[in-house]
Amino acid sequence: KSLSNVSPPTSAEPLDLGCSSCGTPLHDQGGPVEILPFLYLGSAYHAARRDMLDALGITALLNVSSDCPNHFEGLYQYKCIPVEDNHKADISSWFMEAIEFIDSVKECCGRVLVHCQAGISRSA
């Protein structure tokens, strides 16, 4: 799927990207990265953009953060893996749970966005 028809929010469009506790960037970061046809990697910014999620056909989000909110509960399937953003966090203990969630979404022909705050550390 393409994001060519998704434009960044304008000042006239009030959009709550609100994640002040996790410092979600409020600027346009482009789109999430497609890893596989059913698997995308992104940031809290992407997870807060319903238009972007819908344009990509995202049906589920894997939130690999202890402080970023699930903005659209009830509209998408969510799984939270509460990993702190520090070098001491043992993320490997969550791998099987994450894989099982991603596999379950894939089996239902869904698409998953895996994200943390910036989309470059915990979620990757």
Give pLDDT tens digits for 59-87. 999 999 888 899 999 999 999 998 776 66
pLDDT at 112: 98
Q: Is 115 exposed, middle or buried (0-12, 13-18, 19+ CB in 10 A)?
A: buried
How many structural domains compose the chain? 1
Q: Is 22 a catalytic residue?
A: no
Quick check: is 52 in a domain? yes
The parts of the chain modelled with pLDDT lower than 70 are 1-29, 85-89, 117-124
CB 111 within 8 A of CB 35: no
Q: What domain range includes position 40?
A: 33-115
Quick check: is 1 in a domain? no
pLDDT at 67: 85
Quick check: is 44 in a domain? yes
pLDDT at 53: 96
Quick check: is 104 in a domain? yes
Closest CA to 68 of 93, 90, 94, 42: 42
CB contact set of 20 (below 8 Å; sequence gap of 6+) = none
> Can you give the CATH number for the domain in which 50 is found?
3.90.190.10
CB 122 within 8 A of CB 64: yes
Active-site residue identified among 68, 80, 109, 116: 116
Quick check: is 54 in a domain? yes
Quick check: is 49 in a domain? yes
pLDDT at 52: 94
pLDDT at 89: 66
- Whole-angstrom distance, CA of residue 51 vs CA of residue 7: 9
